[in-house]
Structure 1
Amino acid sequence: MDQVNPRLGVKWEAPELGWCKVNFDGASAGNPGQSGIGCILRNSDGICIKEISKKFGVATNNEAKFRAALRGLQLGKELGVQRIHLEGDSLNVVNAVRCNNSPSWRLDQWLQPILVLLATFDEFRISHIYREGNGEADRLSKMAIAMGDPPLAL
């Protein structure tokens, strides 16, 4: 019997009316190695409000993903978003936020600011999406590594 690939048909979906969705991703060339983040904020019509692609120096893949989630939330706050939906392809980040427990003490330095910031929104959601549905954030994070701009200070 054929197995069904759960990733087939995965696509990004716009958030509900009145919400903003932040898709995030982080990448590391070498793990640890030069790292970058990518975030894209879109409204309920699917229109991009803001996107970033930033290099930030040597880090692990997981550190990059946590940093990307944090920076995406910061962008939402800077833009005055009140209802935010954080979505990424990192189960480590999603589960850490849901359980209020990081998978490693090294990642806790990124989880705690995420939790503090989430509490400042009127409402928030967090969800996992397969990489195929998170393509824009993935592209932005990898583009950041290739860029020659100065590292982002978070």
Structure 2
Amino acid sequence: MRLLVSRIFRHEILVHRPVQFVVIRNSHKVPPVQVGWEKPESGWIKLNFDGSCKCKSGRSSIGGVFRDHNAEFLLGYSEFIGKSNSTIAEIIALRRGLELVLENGWGDNSVWLEGDSKSLVDIIGKRKQLVNRCGEVQKHVTHINSIISELNNQCILTHVFREGNRAADKFAQMGYHFKNPQVWRHVPPNELLRIVHEDAEGKTFLRRR
């Protein structure tokens, strides 16, 4: 009887003992990176663009900002585009920015295009095939490529993490509040003053990948 009680007691301890999990961590961690907005070189203008979409409602807006090699604000734009999706919003943001390049006579400048949508950069910059893409996406991409072909100098398209695209993101968020397209020349709106100043000063943010 004493042996039986002993076995039962040991069994209860085993059942109620907390389970210990062993976490195996990857020894090859990807180190965090410093991300910020980067000035273009002299003779270049830089367009940062962004599209925004509210997933539940589909309401979308776009925004973008042009700056020169001194980080001087040249132009900003913001616009509500109705119902859409995030991909199309990003594409329209780039398309509108390129249209403004031509409208403002900047076609003779070298133009640096930068956004935080990696998939869009791959589609436009790397000429990836538009497999299973809707006709609207193809239409916008065709128009974007036609505008780029009209530029007289170099044109590059790069991806940046969101921390380096804050000004464009802010313009895109502002777009939800406007009934008509908005454009600011030479002087940014008050909502952008701090971000534009911090970008010009070279402020960076630590991003864990």
Q: Normalising by structure 1, report the TM-score.
A: 0.89
Question: In structure 1, what is the Cα distance between the partners aligned to 2:99 and 2:86?
Answer: 20
> Counterpart in 1 of 2:87?
62
Q: Is residue 102 of structure 1 aligned with residue 102 of structure 2?
A: no
Any stretches of 5+ residues in structure 2 without a counterpart? 1-26, 183-209
Q: Is residue 121 of structure 1 aligned with residue 148 of structure 2?
A: no
Any stretches of 5+ residues in structure 1 without a counterpart? none
Question: In structure 1, what is the Cα distance between the partners aligned to 2:112 and 2:130?
Answer: 20
Alpha carbons 1:31, 1:61 under 8 Å: kept: no
Question: In structure 2, what is the Cα distance between the partners aligned to 1:86 and 1:110?
Answer: 16
Alpha carbons 2:77, 2:181 under 8 Å: kept: no
Identity of aligned residues (%): 29
> Counterpart in 2 of 1:76?
101
SS of 2:156's partner is strand
Question: In structure 2, what is the Cα distance between the partners aligned to 1:59 and 1:25?
Answer: 14
Structure 1 residues 102 and 85, CA gap change in structure 2 (3 angstroms): farther
Kindly provide the CA deviation profile for residues 96-116 of structure 1, in whole angstroms up to 9, marking residues without a partner as x. Answer: 112333352341111110000
Question: In structure 2, what is the Cα distance between the partners aligned to 1:53 and 1:151?
Answer: 6
Question: In structure 2, what is the Cα distance between the partners aligned to 1:93 and 1:117?
Answer: 16
Q: Is residue 86 of structure 1 aligned with residue 116 of structure 2?
A: no
Question: In structure 1, what is the Cα distance between the partners aligned to 2:149 and 2:105?
Answer: 14
Alpha carbons 1:25, 1:88 under 8 Å: kept: yes
Structure 1 residues 31 and 137, CA gap change in structure 2 (3 angstroms): farther
SS of 1:10's partner is strand
Which residue of 131, 139, 147 maps to 2:170? 139
> Counterpart in 1 of 2:43?
18
Q: Is residue 29 of structure 1 aligned with residue 29 of structure 2?
A: no
Q: Work out the number of aligned pairs and report it.
A: 149
Question: What amino acid maps onto 2:94 in structure 1?
Answer: A
Structure number with bigger Rg? 2
Greater per-residue helix proportion: 2
Alpha carbons 1:32, 1:59 under 8 Å: kept: no
Question: In structure 1, what is the Cα distance between the partners aligned to 2:97 and 2:87?
Answer: 15
